[in-house]
Amino acid sequence: MIGGRRGTQRPRVLLLYYTYTGQSLKVLETAGEVFRERGCEVEKAKIEFTDHRFADRFSRFPMRSVWPDMLSVLPAQFRRATGEIRIPDVLRNGEYDLVCVGSPTWWRTTSMPMRSFLKSAEAQKLLTGRPFVVFVVCRRYWRDNLRAVRRLGEKRGGRYVGGLHFEYPGGQVKSLLSLTSYLGSGEYRDRYLGLRIPMTNVQPDQLEETRRFAGALADRFFGTESAARRQKTVHPQ
């Protein structure tokens, strides 16, 4: 029994996320495919960033002025501040047996929209007594983000059961150039500022790792079986 549900009811999994470039959603949707294959009912819930100080900058992609837009949230991120968000109704419409949190990294830590949700009363209602897992996508610095989401989720009554993180290719400097190029153009380019740059964002092999991780979670919590079970599993730590 998970989350107080019994009998023949299908397990319910919530994919909770904020995303600007779509990378957190890409990872969560890959995990969601696995949960559906295992017979779970999967719902998505997107946190919307509506804060009047920043919403216009983050309402369009690519960014109109990439460095000013990126730097606009830096002071608030350093303060670990919260902001105005819109919470979808699906969070209030039932109980879930597992909550998967997709958390992008902004300036080395959890993005303001996700932090704002995790400090809310709605997060308390959602997470109390329920297992949750964290998926972190970032350029380099993932640890503070994952730790912050875990800490905030546990403070809201959730039970942390695992995490998965991905870094973008290219090392410190080139990964920054690649991401900046993508945020400002919306395109993948070979060069930026005259330098050759690697591909940015989540890579295909990382999505395959996501599938294995989600399969291990399904086995662990729901005891489900399908063709996907024949894949080699990686048990979450």
Structure confidence by residue, pLDDT tens digits, 173-229: 899 999 999 999 999 999 998 899 999 999 999 999 999 999 999 999 998 554 344
Does position 18 have pLDDT exceeding 90, yes or no? yes
Pick the closest to residue 106 from 98, 114, 97 (CA basis).
Answer: 114
Strand runs labelled E in the chain: 12-17, 41-46, 48-49, 85-86, 98-106, 109-110, 131-138, 159-167, 191-192, 195-196
Asked if residue 131 has pLDDT above 50, the reply is: yes
User: Per-residue confidence at 141, pLDDT binned at 50, 70, 90?
Assistant: confident
Q: Which carries the bigger pLDDT value, residue 58 or residue 93? A: 58
- Rounded to whole angstroms, how far apart are CA atoms 61 and 183? 7
Pairing of strands 131-138, 159-167: parallel
What are the Cα distances from residue 169, in Å, to 24, 78, 192, 197?
16, 25, 15, 9
Q: Where does the pLDDT of residue 233 fall: very low under 50, low under 70, confident under 90, or very high at 90 and above?
A: very low
Rounded distance between C-alpha atoms, residue 57 and residue 38, angstroms = 39
pLDDT > 80? residue 230: no
Nearest to 92 by CA among 66, 122, 127, 116: 122
Using the predicted structure, report yes or no on whether residue 72 has a pLDDT greater than 80. yes
Q: What's 12-170+203-230's CATH class?
A: alpha beta
- Predicted local confidence at residue 223, as pLDDT: 86
